[in-house]
Structure 1
C-alpha cells in the first residue's frame, strides 16, 4: 500500500496535495536577500496600505478556494497549513527579518518519493516558512514518511553576490528552494540560480541517495515553474521567451516540446510585481491528461487542448502580485505510481 507521502514526478495521478494560504501575508522590510531574489534596484519598498493588501489577500483566498474545489472535484484530497502569525520577528546572528507568508509550500518543501525535505531557503524572511506545515509534516512522518531538513543556513551578507551577469549565491553553505527542482522519476533537475547553489545540489544528491541522479542545470534566474514543465513522459511545456532547443536540459531534448510564447498579463495589486507575466504558465498536472491552468491564459489553454490534454481553467488574479501561481502555491504529496526512469 502506498504511504501518505509518495510522489516521484509532476504527472502521475494526483491523490493528495497541500495548498498554501495568503492569510496573514506580510510585506517584510526589503533587505539584501529580498533585493537579491527579486533583482531589485534600490530599496524596492512597498507603500501598499492595509486596505489594498487586505483586498488582494481576500481575492487570492477566493481563487485558492476555487483551486481547491477543482482539485476536490477531480478526486484529490486537499490539505492546508496551520494559521500563521502576522509579520513575526525572525533573528539570527548578524541579521533580523519578518516572516513573509505561508502561501507557497512548493518553495519551502520538496517531496522526493516518500521523503519530504525542508529546503534551506536563501531569503531571510522565509527562514521559518516550513513552520505552518509542521503539523502536516508530523502526520506524514507518523504515517511512515521520511522527514529531513537541510542544514539551517546562516545567511550572512556575503551570501548574496551581485555580478555583471546577475545575482548568484555564494557557495559557503547549501542553499536552495524546493521550486529549484524538476522531478522526473529517478532523475532530479536542479536549477543553479540565485535561489540554489551547487553546494545545495550536492547536498540534495547525497540526501536522497543512490536511487536518484541529480542533474545540475541553469535554465532561468530562480525557480523553474515558469520556465519548464514535464507534462508527461515525452512531452514538455517550455517558455519560448527564455529557452531555445539547445537550452532544454540535454537528457530531455528528445522529448516533444510545446513552446509557449503568449502569456496574458493579469497585472498586480501592490506597488511592484513579484513575478513576470510568465507566472501564467505556473500550472498543476492532475494526471498525464489533465492540467489545471490559470483561467486568463487562453492561449495556453488552446495550446494544451490542441495537444489532446483536458484543461481545467481556474481563476487566479494575483500570481504577479505575490510571485506564485498554482504550482508554487501547492505541493503534491501523493501520486499513484512508483519510481521509474523516464530518460
Structure 2
C-alpha cells in the first residue's frame, strides 16, 4: 500500500511492529539517563533503586564512571517479550491489519561507533520513537539515545518499499552527540528529581558543537493537518524549528512545554476526533486551547496488581501510566493491555470496543502498544480538527 498516515485513530491498514531479537542489555550512560530522567530519577517509588548517575565519557567515548556500563536484562524477560510481540501481531492481523517487521539485530552486532563515541546496540523495538510519519512522508528523527543512533537502518527494507510506491523519505540532521550536545536544564530543574552527580562541566570532546537537534517522533501528537509537539529542552526546540520550516504550508505545529521529559504518548492520546485519553486534567489544561474543549477520558490510577513484581536489580524505565499507551485500530476499536481491566472498563463505558492483548514487561523495555508500532497506512487525510 502507499504510505498514508495523518492521525492516531483513522482505520488502520498497515503498521510496523518492532523487534526485540537479541535484546540483551541497557547501557547506562549520559544519553540513556537523560532520556529516562523522569522515571529513573524518581525511582518509580522504589526506595531501593537509587542508582541514578551520569557516567562520564573519556575523550575516546568510553564510559569511565565506576557505575557505568551495560546492565544485563534477564533472558526470561526477553523471551516473554518476544512471545507478547507475536501476540500483538496476531491481534492486529485478526483485525485485518497488515503487520510489517523491521530487520532483527544480528547476534554478532554488539556495538556501534562514531567519531565521537561508541555504544551498545539495542533492537528496533520502540519503532514509534525515531520515525515520524506525516501523510505521505517518512521523517527519520535525530535520536536522543546513543545506542539507538542507527536504529532506523533496521527499517530500511520497509522504507524502501514505501519510497518505491511514491512516498517521500527525509532524514533530519544527525547529531554528533558529545556530552556538550545535550541541554541538561530539564534534568537540573524538573521537580521530579535530579542527578546524584550533576554535570556542570561535561567531558569535552574534539567534536563539540554545542546544543544539537535531538528529538523523538513520539513527542508528537498527530491530528490531521495539526501536530502537537512536546518541548522540554533546547535540543527539542531546535528540532521543532526544523520541523516547522520543513512542513510549512502542509502542517501546523503547536508547541506544548514540559508535559514530560520527552514523549507525549503516555500523557495524552487522541482516540477519535473530539475524544482524548489523558493522564489528568492538569495535563489536558496544558494542551492547545482547541484540544481543551475535547472530551477527556481520564483512566483510573494504575495499581501494583497491574504489573509483574521485579527484583531490585531490574531497571524500571517507565512510569506506572505506561498502559495509557494504547493503539487505536479505528475510531471505535482500541488495543489495551489485558493486565488493565479498570482501563478496559473505562473505555467500554465510553463506547469503545476494547481488544485485550498481553504485554507483560512494558516497564522494563520502555514502551506500550503505541511505542511498539508505527502506523504507516490509515484511511484518514489532512483534515482540520482544530479549526
TM-score normalised to the size of structure 2?
Answer: 0.82
1:236 and 2:276 correspond: yes
User: What is the alpha-carbon root mean square deviation over aligned residues?
Assistant: 2.0
1:59 and 2:80 correspond: yes
Deviation, 1:66, is 1.2
Aligned position for 2:48: none
Of the structure 1 ranges 104-113 and 249-258, higher mean CA displacement relative to structure 2 is found in 249-258
- What does residue range 19-38 of structure 1 map to in structure 2 within 5 Å? 19-38=17-36
CA distance 1:260–1:154, shift in 2 (3 Å): same
Aligned position for 1:76: 97
Of the structure 1 ranges 311-320 and 63-72, higher mean CA displacement relative to structure 2 is found in 63-72
Q: Distance in 2 between matches of 1:234 and 1:171?
A: 41
Aligned position for 2:219: 180
1:328 and 2:371 correspond: yes
Contact 2:256/2:287, CA 8 A, preserved across alignment: no
1:141 and 2:182 correspond: no
CA distance 1:299–1:196, shift in 2 (3 Å): farther
Deviation, 1:105, is 0.8
Contact 1:121/1:195, CA 8 A, preserved across alignment: no
Contact 1:268/1:318, CA 8 A, preserved across alignment: no
- What does residue range 188-337 of structure 1 map to in structure 2 within 5 Å? 188-193=227-232, 197-218=236-257, 219-240=259-280, 243-264=282-303, 265-267=306-308, 271-337=314-380
CA distance 1:287–1:44, shift in 2 (3 Å): farther
CA distance 1:309–1:261, shift in 2 (3 Å): same
Q: Give the number of equivalent residue pairs.
A: 335
Q: Distance in 2 between matches of 1:157 and 1:172?
A: 9
Q: Distance in 2 between matches of 1:246 and 1:64?
A: 35
Deviation, 1:207, is 1.9
CA distance 1:171–1:207, shift in 2 (3 Å): farther
Q: Distance in 1 between matches of 2:138 and 2:292?
A: 29
Secondary structure at the counterpart of residue 107 of structure 1 = coil
Deviation, 1:267, is 3.5
TM-score normalised to the size of structure 1?
Answer: 0.92
CA distance 1:252–1:89, shift in 2 (3 Å): same
Q: Distance in 2 between matches of 1:276 and 1:306?
A: 25
Q: Which residues of structure 1 form unaligned runs of 5+?
A: none
Q: Distance in 1 between matches of 2:105 and 2:69?
A: 23
